[in-house]
Structure 1
Amino acid sequence: MPTEPGRVRSFAPIADANARLLILGSMPGEASLQAQQYYAHPHNLFWPILGEAVGALPSLPYEERTQRLRDSGIAVWDVLAHCRRPGSLDAAIDLRSAQANDFAAFFDGHPQLRRVLFNGATAEAIFRRQVAPALPTRALEWRRLPSTSPANASIPRAEKFAAWLEALR
């Protein structure tokens, strides 16, 4: 079955049943889709930050990094299951085509979750618009952090690191 031009799909979550914290992006970029790995762009700060926070160092093989996240109670996923988006920029997501992941089932399967960190404004905005209204009430802390994307160059690296490390404590 041919793929619709510009249609992209996210990955399965990195998570185990004991996850306490969920990090949500919007949709994997082209480098991540090509590598089939979350945050694969070499200039994305996600892995350097998580390396410092929990030892998921960018120099480790991907499977070891994701295991360090799981061992630390951290889950990673994207708000969207699929959408049309030419390129990698969040601004290029066609919101009319955007379909969110099944968060009701995810939250049901991860009862230990207490905090959700949004990797940037787009992930938060789409989640709040498409997902949150349909979710049952649950005591969760929601927090938007500066995007780790290299496209988010207006915030200095040190400021991103400080915000993320404080939120991950």
Structure 2
Amino acid sequence: MIQSFAPFVNSKTEILILGTMPGIASLEKQEYYAHKRNHFWKIMYTLLDNLPISEIFEEKIQLLQANKIGIWDVLENCERKGSLDIHIKNQKENDFETLFKEFPAITKIIFNGKESHKYFLKKFGQIKGITYHVMPSTSPANTMSFENKLKIWSTCFEYPINTFLGKPFDGVFDDQ
């Protein structure tokens, strides 16, 4: 049985990014998105215009929180061989009812991959007052290019990233 981490949210959190369950590298380091080839932190630092990427996990969390972004996982615990979500079984979801009561400023959930969305929707459905956005997984198992992941992720934020990439995102997931 593997365990997720505590949520990184505070009273100012408006956007909650949800993964499914930390992978092996993250569990070993006890840090979200610790795999060297995971694009999560590169995407966040690029979108939030704060390059270079810090090596210090606490500074990464501070950057998210300064931008009213929190992170957590849909699942509290599960059994899983390896790091792939498709191998998850005997899962238990985190307590989102309590989280949303405690942090009512959360109005947007960004799902890091289709699997996190699938598990969340199955257990909680559509929660009134919260919009959902399903983004391509930042995992190295998703072979979509960094540029395409960045373009799609940028649609969830009010940052001028589309001009950086040359053209607006057309809504089509080219590599997925």
TM-score in terms of structure 1 length: 0.89
Structure 2 CA distance for aligned equivalents of residues 119 and 160 of structure 1: 11
C-alpha RMSD of the superposition = 1.3
Post-superposition, which runs of at least 4 consecutive aligned residues in structure 1 deviate over 4 A? Answer: none
Q: Deviation at 1:139?
A: 1.0
Equivalent of residue 32 in structure 2, options 38, 43, 55: 38
Q: CA deviation at 1:168?
A: 2.2
SS in structure 2 at match of 1:27: coil
2:77 pairs with 1:90:
no
Residue 52 (structure 1) shift: 1.0
Change (3 A) 1:100 1:123: same
How far, CA to CA, are the matches of 1:114 and 1:38 in structure 2? 22
1:147 is paired with a residue whose SS is coil
**Residue matched to 1:164:** 153
Structure 1's unaligned 5+ residue stretches are 1-6
Offset from partner CA, 1:82-117 (integer Å, 9 cap, x none) = 0000110011101xx110000000011111111100
Unaligned runs of 5+ in 2: 159-176
SS of the equivalent of 1:66 reads helix
Q: Which of these residues, 132, 137, 144, is aligned with residue 147 of structure 1?
A: 137
Asked whether the 8 Å contact 1:56–1:69 carries over to 2, the reply is: no
The residue type paired with residue 159 of structure 1 is N
> Paired residues, what number?
157
Q: How far, CA to CA, are the matches of 1:60 and 1:67 in structure 2? A: 13
**TM-score normalised over the length of structure 2:** 0.85
Q: Distance in 1 between matches of 2:13 and 2:134?
A: 19
Choose from 12, 19, 22 the match for 2:16. Answer: 22
